[in-house]
Amino acid sequence: MNSPTSEFVHTTIELDMSWRYASGDEMERFLNGIAQRLIEAIRCPQCGRRYLPPRPFCGRCRVRMTEWVPVADTGTLVAWTVVHLPIIDGRTGEPRPFPYGMGLIQLDGADTALNHYMATADPELLTIGARVQAVWRDELEGAMDDIMHFEVMP
Amino acid sequence: MTSKMTPETTPETTSRAMTPVAIIGSGQTNHAKERSDVSQPELVREAVDAALQDAEILPEDIDAVIFSNMELFEGRAFPELWVAEGAYGNGKPVFKVATGGTSGTSACIAGFHQAGSGIFDTVLVVGFEKHSEGHTQTGMALVDPFWDRSVASGALGNFALSISQYVSEYMAGRGVTEEHAAQVAVKARRNAANNPHAHLQMPDLTVDEVLASRMLAEPLHLLDMCPQSDGAAAIVVASRDTARKRGKAAAWVHGAATRHDQPYLGDLDRRLVTTRAQRSAAASAYAQAGITKPLRDLDVAEIYEPATYAELAWYEALGFCEDGQAGRLIDDGITQMDGELPVNPSGGVLSTNPVGASGVIRVVEASTQLLGRAERRQVDGARTALATGYGVYAWSDVIVLRSEMP
């Protein structure tokens, strides 16, 4: 046992890491669509649920999905928050400037909701049920952040 | 959801009541922001020795070891490799469970199944986490690299999103207010002051102080959230025959269920309100244990509440009250130490959260209550206890323990 006065040696390690992930067919098609400002959901042949993000299987019905349906870049805000902390952005490894608004958006034509940033960080402007629209980057790269954030429609 | 064709039902798993098993001993470390006085194996050893001593058994009496841990939170690859000797695992079957916040309760359930299987007589379940040495936020940031990695980093924003839906229902006769949530924070930290193991002990905390604490993500204040702690906890599970032969008091497992649900936050309509996985797990565990009126049938509950609002949502999901009545339950003091069903006498996850250990701590606390060894946090005469786990927003565990053998 160590006496209460003993000093422990701590070691500090710094590490840069990178990852490379395969998308799978469904996400590949979805991202190819995003590169052309086209959002598509995948539909379950059994329950009819239109899934975003698209994925191979409906978890509820346990069946393979193959049918694609178009989804608008407008939708309804179904949840919101304003974050007041420096949370790490998992794509860059850097903390995002705060405060920033976040929302769960149910896009018109989809049955699941998308979590994304909101253009405003003013809680007064964010209400569940608000109509929202995607704000796209000028140069599209086929990634989710081609949509920079959503803004509340006037 | 909006589509008429999409039923809000989960494919149900039928669960049979398992062969009876008992928790014959338990132990935990003192939990703190940083346990820099010990290494990871030493932290584990501390909890394991406490559990073995409580069970009055020796390391050689253990047939198998199950670890609960989230490895990115530790800063080491396969932490169970480095700490297994701390749990006397050499030469024995050693397994690991890692399902976020449910890791600990799921590891306990795995231990129940193993001891009930007839293959092992005595199983040691150990949960541990040393957040101070790992990168919890980095671990939480490694979500779907294509879909929501930028947005979903950290648990906080996602909790807040779910909670905004719960709060929004208040005007419609459901949901809760900031004040209801603040009362949960006060109850937890005051209860923790009676628990020498707890990380955050705040005997004088008030609702006003919770509401005045820093806003982290609307509507979550700093004091609405759990801390990150270093700590470990362990239980010893024995088969029916082994437990009976001892002729000593034990906490018997009467019901246990675990459920998984769809992965993405937006997959479920109003996830915190509908709490599909937890309702399903509770229905199964209650049926196994013959619980029909939880508020009446349970004497004490140790539930996994990473945020104040979650505890209120669980009141409804676990059937402590009708949907929409959670605010009244906390207002009326029903879940206080002197109420009809004390919830989290230990101070809960809101006061102590070494993630891999937190679920095991729920079970340690519940069984300690049944053995009458909870000292200043003891609920008098507790004979039926509930322990739950909650993982990310996709896993739920519900466990019912009694002092009597099934």
Residue B101 lies inside a defined structural domain of this protein:
yes
Structure confidence at residue A6 (pLDDT)? 58
The ipTM value here is: 0.90
Domain that residue A32 falls in? 25-152
Q: Label residue B328 by pLDDT band (50, 70, 90).
A: very high
Residue A95 contacts B where some CB pair is shorter than 8 Å: no
Instruction: Determine, for residues A49 and B152 on separate chains, whether the beta-carbon distance falls below 8 Å.
Output: no
Structure confidence at residue B3 (pLDDT)? 38
Is the pLDDT score of B30 beyond 50?
yes
Residue A120 lies inside a defined structural domain of this protein:
yes
CB of A67 within 8 A of CB of A50? Answer: no
Percent of chain A with pLDDT over 90: 79
CATH of the domain at B80: 3.40.47.10
Rounded to an integer, the average pLDDT of B1-10 is: 42
Greater confidence (B379 vs A92) lies with: B379
CB of B49 within 8 A of CB of B43? Answer: no
Q: How many CB pairs under 8 A join A and B?
A: 144
DSSP B113-124: HHHHTTS-SEEE
Q: Label residue B126 by pLDDT band (50, 70, 90).
A: very high
Structure confidence at residue B153 (pLDDT)? 64
Rounded to an integer, the average pLDDT of B394-406 is: 96
Task: Tell me the C-alpha distance between B52 and B37, whole Å.
Answer: 22
User: Based on C-alpha coordinates, what's the Rg of chain B?
Assistant: 20
Residue A109 contacts B where some CB pair is shorter than 8 Å: no
Q: How many domains does chain A have?
A: 1
Rounded to an integer, the average pLDDT of B233-249 is: 97
Residue A19 lies inside a defined structural domain of this protein:
no
Is the pLDDT score of A125 beyond 60?
yes
Q: Which pair of structure tokens corresponds to residue B342? A: 């004390």
What residues of chain A lie within 8 A of the CB of B160, using their CB? Answer: 81, 83, 102
Q: Which pair of structure tokens corresponds to residue B105? A: 């309760």
CB of B320 within 8 A of CB of B294? Answer: yes
Is the pLDDT score of A1 beyond 50?
no
Residue B34 lies inside a defined structural domain of this protein:
yes
Is the pLDDT score of B394 beyond 80?
yes
CB of B224 within 8 A of CB of B159? Answer: no
Q: What is the dihedral of CA B55, B353, B281, B377, to 10 degrees?
A: 60
Task: Tell me the C-alpha distance between B173 and B301, whole Å.
Answer: 26
Instruction: Determine, for residues A90 and B141 on separate chains, whether the beta-carbon distance falls below 8 Å.
Output: yes
Is the pLDDT score of B40 beyond 50?
yes
Residue B113 lies inside a defined structural domain of this protein:
yes
What is the nearest CA distance from A139 to chain B, expressed in angstroms? Answer: 18
Domain that residue B40 falls in? 21-136+228-246
Residue A60 lies inside a defined structural domain of this protein:
yes
Residue B33 lies inside a defined structural domain of this protein:
yes
Task: Tell me the C-alpha distance between A91 and A82, whole Å.
Answer: 20
Residue B38 lies inside a defined structural domain of this protein:
yes
Residue B338 contacts A where some CB pair is shorter than 8 Å: no
Residue B172 contacts A where some CB pair is shorter than 8 Å: no
Look over chain B and give the mean of its residue pLDDT values, rounded to a whole number.
93
Instruction: Determine, for residues B147 and A60 on separate chains, whether the beta-carbon distance falls below 8 Å.
Output: no
Q: Label residue B13 by pLDDT band (50, 70, 90).
A: low
Instruction: Determine, for residues B156 and A85 on separate chains, whether the beta-carbon distance falls below 8 Å.
Output: yes
Residue B74 lies inside a defined structural domain of this protein:
yes
Q: Which pair of structure tokens corresponds to residue A60? A: 């509820």
Residue A49 lies inside a defined structural domain of this protein:
yes
Instruction: Determine, for residues A59 and B267 on separate chains, whether the beta-carbon distance falls below 8 Å.
Output: yes
List, for residues B79-109, the tens digit of each pLDDT value. 889 999 999 999 999 999 999 999 999 999 9
Residue B168 lies inside a defined structural domain of this protein:
no
Residue A140 lies inside a defined structural domain of this protein:
yes
Which of B161, B214, B262 lies nearest to residue A102, judging by beta carbons?
A: B161
Residue A122 lies inside a defined structural domain of this protein:
yes
Is the pLDDT score of B7 beyond 90?
no
Put simply, the chain A residues between 12 and 71 with a CB less than 8 A from any chain B CB are 19, 21, 23, 27, 31, 47-53, 59-60, 62
What residues of chain A lie within 8 A of the CB of B150, using their CB? Answer: 89-92, 96, 117, 144-145
Closest to B288 in 3D by CA, of B253, B261, B319: B253
What residues of chain A lie within 8 A of the CB of B154, using their CB? Answer: 85, 87-88
Q: How many domains does chain B have?
A: 1
Is the pLDDT score of B75 beyond 90?
no
Residue A97 contacts B where some CB pair is shorter than 8 Å: no
